[in-house]
Structure 1
């Protein structure tokens, strides 16, 4: 129901903005076309609910095209609403302002000479009207481009992480990371299998899944089966994200437990560590829970993170290389304080939009996308392997291959 309500709200907001920017939309065929397309965008999410397919269900044949259309439409009208309301307010102010450009008559010896009223206001109004009418076209083009990019699969991103004092035997240790897959409406288990196979083909030593694995619990069994195709020497270590908590934590925990009972290579870490031995050296991988609780204040989140750090980092040995998995990248300073040399995170999706390599919404998180360094610790925030909305510009979905290197 959440998506349906959100879609209705965005459509309503955009309609009122467009009525101001494009007065001809108030009646006639333009109004009918807008209302028809808005209704179709609502139908894409209402029909599966009414027919018993569930919130994330997809109708046979027409279901996915409908939902892709709805997503593109919602993005477009959302852009119209966000960018159009300032234009609408400016137009309203100019229409309601008293006429300040009345004709001026100046008397001369030859008689009255009419001095033309300045037409600056009319020029500005025409500019605003033109911008308002062009906005829907710009929004539609942006939405289409982002929808195509968001539905184009993932890229394999390889990066070397240089760590001071890394033992020679661990130089070349490879980690494959997937995160924020969001199995559900737009991402299926075949896509997840492809990401695991990409890590298999890259011959990584360890695979990790750093949270927000699934939104549609009806696909949980197939999701776990896809993870279990991992062929890495040290298996796959997974942690929880906020969506596992929201969608049904008991079911997710039981699915991981059942996978472990089958002897699969997948292991879930919840405020705990797993120690593996590679080429005679111990590597401690710490996995922390997502800092969620009944209170959502900044202080409460910090308290939960601190508690996770105190529990998960117990029993460390000075001869171990410590790695940390945290869905929320804000855990990074705590991980560094406790000796983690590398932290892998997700959660932000990199904002899903970047211009010239800079995330458009970088103000939303302290650590939005890419690499960060703090003392001897480093953080990598993935742009995400999937999405819950298929819209990306400049931040492609990724499977990350990290290779540890000794810093000279």
Structure 2
């Protein structure tokens, strides 16, 4: 009997030893790792990857034990794993966008919401928005100074916010003016506070969380007025703006989105959608002003109806200057196996966009800005600026169309002065990263 127990114990130890273990762990103190991660995620993940490889474990405040993934095959596993086992990162942007946002939903509810939203941002639904985007670009460009260097970031923010406001609500008015004033400072504040764990209380109305709450109440008040106005409109059934489409949409069981969920989704579109697109456009101007040959080809193409090289340039901007540098997941299952490693319940998985898109095996000489990488081929598995899997950005096609139209309009109406200035450095705005000098540019109107 004693021999049987000894043999069983030996088998248990051998089985445990053969089971996959978590990826190698960075040994530095948790606080030190957290400070480095908040200060510069991109630099920190790249430096650690040099020592620990394309998958490793860090321990940071807010997310705890976190596995960084920089390998495309492993990332594909992450994105294809069942949402029952590997769900949205916790905590996520729902802490500022609302629990009814697509960022806050899980499993079946998330799948149903994506199915409801996706048709609004694809195919014929987007054609009607191109003229709006061109009009907003021309309206903003009318005040640009000639021959004088200025920051392009804020003008791009205004273009994308005004365009999406018109696309979402289909009209102008006092309420939209309020949103124009409310959304930009809200985005800056929300991006800043998401770096840190959410407190159990807001510590008064003058604290960052208190200010967010005040702004959110103001936003809800404006949105409720716009929803009431849309529902009462005589042409409600014929309207093609996103607000009307959401209010008319129903799930497979015949139910519709609640008023609060509509508000959360619209805030997601207005806040997350306009900032990331505008930042990519600022990076695009920063990049092409430093590459005369590329700029010349873009200008020549802009005089035609073609956009192949412009599209390739946008893809290369997103590869070399990704605005969002990670896609996060949370382990809900007892464990998840990724490659040769086992990741326990409760851990976080972050797919590093920068590590994958700076990989020389996927993109030779990755520091070189070269749109020809995408001239005759579609992006592969290593190109993931919109994330991947069921949580890939639902507005990706809209964002791509918007960037294409804005760049085409600028190139047709302005000469962009090239520069030998050093590349602008990265600056973290919290969730997103932008050019440190906000994309300095000098332009002249074409006659």
TM-score, normalising length: structure 1? 0.23
Select the structure that is richer in helix.
2
Structure whose alpha-carbon radius of gyration is higher: 1
- The answer to which structure, 1 or 2, has the higher relative contact order (CA under 8 A, 6+ apart) is 2
Select the structure that is richer in strand.
1
